[in-house]
A and B are shown apart, each in its own frame.
Chain A
């Protein structure tokens, strides 16, 4: 194209900024697009999202990263799911796995066969025994999934735990070697076009001015451009997700090298445990309405498996999203676009999804001269809203469906009004174990099934076509499936041994 280059300016260099820059360097032709990232060493990064979802592997593969190299550089471990402890009631635990429960037989979802066998008096195992990922996780084992779809070892995926600060650094090195310009400095002035209101330039403390055609706001909660300049409207979700603080403190690894994230319910929130190669990340996500910071600090420090390596660091946040995440010539990615607590490790996914959408919908050089077609931001905003709302409902489910009677925080959650979209899913599952599914957006069938069952929702019925299958055959298949999982998991290497062989970081 002969319209010159689109000058893209990414403001903010945390995980969001560098993931966006990395994708752009890979997917935007250099002849038409230049990418400059501005970051300030003075401004810390939040570094949320040390736990990820399997999608991040797709993202890394899209960039063409070497997995072992990336894992060494970020002190990463593998992740097969999230364990929820004491969430339904104290003493309970379950895993939301990255993988399937059983398999559909005769075109009918697995849970109906399982429930029907149970209702017919046949002895069946708990749901968790029919998930390869759950069994492997609880056995502290890891291996790569099999690519042969006939193998039970193909029924799971994996993600990583990594140091998000190191990931951003890794991507910074990788990306700046591929043509992205990095500029250090703090933004002190923002220039806008009087007529269109579009952003034109940013000026740094050093006096350097950077002109741009399209700006990506990766400045975190501050949302320096989208909120700061365009006043993008905030939709608040605190009434559904009352946690608004986190205290984070790493500690030494006690040797429990679990291939999963752990989330343990606490009186006013929950505590995360993320095992990395060199340390364990811990944090207490809590609601300031239900616990003071001092009280939360005590709770966290009393529940660490090793000595804290630093004084707990406080993060404040508000759950919600910007109603529009792309306004004019400014799109926000990461915390600048919205925030959902890290309960389901969705922060990095949201960055990745927005970065991919933005690259697909990126204005052409011609458009930045004649005006960006409003259909491009309209579609970006529609997709962003869809992602946020679907994840929001899934998070609320964990809190709402609890049996922790007598604790004010949990009592409030159990009694709150929930979004219609979630209430509807819950009543359908309660009635017949069916899942009201969607094709686009995060969290599919097995995720919903895991959390619904894990949070103690007991269906009153099941799909009646399950009764048309031979009961003995179904029972035998259930047993055989659980046996296949158990015998395969028994022959897997331990997670620690696998990492030692594959990607151990040199200290």
Chain B
């Protein structure tokens, strides 16, 4: 199941760190939406092992209102015989200068096989970001705090419950270092570290490492041109091979 495990290209380039990075894409820590001062429309996709069946496609929009920010998004994963579909709504508020909170509600839908009908569920997630000092962020997020399950033929399957806690620090003006711990309820602990280096305003390069039973290195690049933003990243999994992600965004 891909729900809750859908990193954006920036996150993937930084070893799947997602709680306290600089990312305007939906899908990471919900509280990151609170930091956006510009509206954007966005799309990003991911593919595992060059298999068309293992692709995830996302579209979204973030709009900053005067009193809070909102994000809307949708994602699709899978193929005709198995697919996952979700729609999410994010409400986020930045209590300047220290804390940002967000709550995200998501409608999820699963088509497990041709002999099963669609099954639906609702998920509530929380996110928080703290800024102890200008150079540092502490972030946490919980996906599926509602412990929502899917019911397939009277059997219940819980959607993943994922807790993430991270720390990021600007070790130099243009260099951001992140470290994060992640725990999915029924999976082992995972740790990730990531680095983002803003070479010039228009170009950033990223690298990271994701550790959960085995190490998974990753790298990525981000380009900014006028109101457009393009990000791409690659992760190499020693069993599954290459995982690619790309995202495009228009900000105004």
Question: Is A bound to B?
Answer: no
